[in-house]
Structure 1
Amino acid sequence: MENELCQYICPVESTLDVIGGKWKGIVLYKLLERPRRFSELKRELPTITQRMLTLQLRELEEDGIVHREIYKQIPPKVEYSLTDFGKTLEPILLAMLTWGGQYTSQIIERRSTRKAQSAS
């Protein structure tokens, strides 16, 4: 039932429920820098589909992480930014940035070695 409250096994699960997946962390990192229009995000994330970006932004908005501002002008302008609640994710996102910077080459190396072994 949709109205039931979600029960989490641990706090890590609730965090991953909000920011998990391939795209949400990257979108949030971009919004840490400054508010962005949809087209800016799409341009900065060329491999995400328009549908997926829309879905991810909508979910983040529903969770109170992202604010969608509609400017009443011609042509219409929509801008996405982090809410105060969303800004509380900054230390997590920066820790992910640091960890990724330190270990990306190791991850790539391990995966390419594993792939080569499975192909043999």
Structure 2
Amino acid sequence: MRIILVLTLFIFNLSFATVIFNSEKKEYKENENICFYLKNNSNNIIFLPSSAPWAVFEDEKFEKIIYSPISSQVIVKLNPNQEKKWCWKQENFKNKKVSAGEYTIRITYFENGKRKFATFKVKIVSDYSDAK
């Protein structure tokens, strides 16, 4: 009976697979590239409005944008189980290094004709021994 319940829950969870947007780590030392990915774990094709549709913010309300890459304005198709990866060099719009602290990275994508956003937080630490 437990096996049937576990298998049912597993199959149920697969049917609600989602789009995942996250970094490779939660903390980075200063000057280290912050690399992250968007993985389409849904059953739908998703579309990106450009080759790099992400931005870095200093706040959770998305009012203080500090960086957004220059990218080609082409629609990028991401099929189910496909993944795309980018890296941020910890720079602002003036190509100056940002200070240690917490930042929010947000991506824009389209699924079933609807604009959606996904976010994650990342921490930059000045002493790598404090990073995880």
The bucket for the TM-score relative to the shorter chain is under 0.3
TM-score, normalised with respect to structure 2: 0.23
Is the helix fraction higher in 1 or 2? Answer: 1
TM-score by length of 1: 0.25
Q: Which has the higher strand share?
A: 2
Q: Which has the higher contact order (CA 8 A, sep 6+)?
A: 2
